[in-house]
Amino acid sequence: MTDCKIICGDCLEVLPQLEDGLFACAIVDAPYGSGGRDGSVHLNNPAMIGNRMGRDAHLWLTREYGKLLFAKTKADAHCYAFTDWRKFIDLRISYESAGWECRALIVWDKGNGMGEYWRSSHEFILFLTKRQPRPLTHGGCFNVLRFPPARANKLHPAQKPVALIEYLIEASTQDGEAVIDPFCGSGSTAEASVKLHRPFVGIEISEEYCEIARQRLGRTQPALMSVCYDQAKP
């Protein structure tokens, strides 16, 4: 498994350089844009970019990378986009205006809560497809997924559990089909893809997290340590 690459750069600049129709599945964990300006959601981390965006900027960004992902994925591809209760409607608007169809709203039950008052113990995942999507490999499943969040040795404040990402990739791809993650972060999707023998391209704007992801893949598959990292072309 050597077809794994993490590209350090802005996904709006990197995606146009990739081949059209290449990927069978996209996993997207972009900044939710719901941190606002209240100082709450990882806003003090200089490597976390995007949560201070206003609604118009967030809609625009999502539509722009949504259009690019539409072009770079296969005609029957699936896309999974993580979000929360504040922003899932905006996310659906942006993706559907970029050509995608929202087929389901998946609830990720994390089993614990964050915040105050009625503490959120879940996040949403939009299941998006093109007009004639492939069937799920296991024939279908319920739209509540119960996976504990990443807790021990977290490498990124918004890190998703590898087991959850593996479940989504397995549901939407066959062995050897390529996966893309335009907001790669610390590399959870990369690790899941390597474990499942799926070629993978990840894009991450933060050099710090690109290096973290590279080191993580090296621990998962030592042969990848020297082949998985690249800088975006100018």
Cα distances (angstroms) measured from residue 132 to each of 75, 101, 141, 145: 7, 10, 19, 24
Taking residues 91-107, what's their average pLDDT?
Answer: 97
pLDDT given for residue 134 in this prediction: 95
Q: Please, what are the domains in the chain?
A: 4-231 (3.40.50.150)
Q: How confident is the model at residue 30 (pLDDT cuts 50, 70, 90)?
A: very high
Prediction pTM value: 0.88
**Any residues with CB less than 8 A from the CB of 231 and at least 6 apart, and which?**
7, 8, 9
Taking residues 215-226, what's their average pLDDT?
Answer: 68
Q: How far is the C-alpha of 6 from the C-alpha of 205, rounded, in Å?
A: 10
In tens, the pLDDT along 118-145 reads 888 899 999 999 999 999 998 778 999 9
Kindly report the average pLDDT of the chain as a whole number: 86
pLDDT given for residue 233 in this prediction: 55
Q: Assess contact for 157 and 48: CB atoms under 8 A.
A: yes
Of 1-5, 35-39, 203-207, minimum mean pLDDT range: 35-39
Q: How confident is the model at residue 37 (pLDDT cuts 50, 70, 90)?
A: very low
**Any residues with CB less than 8 A from the CB of 39 and at least 6 apart, and which?**
none
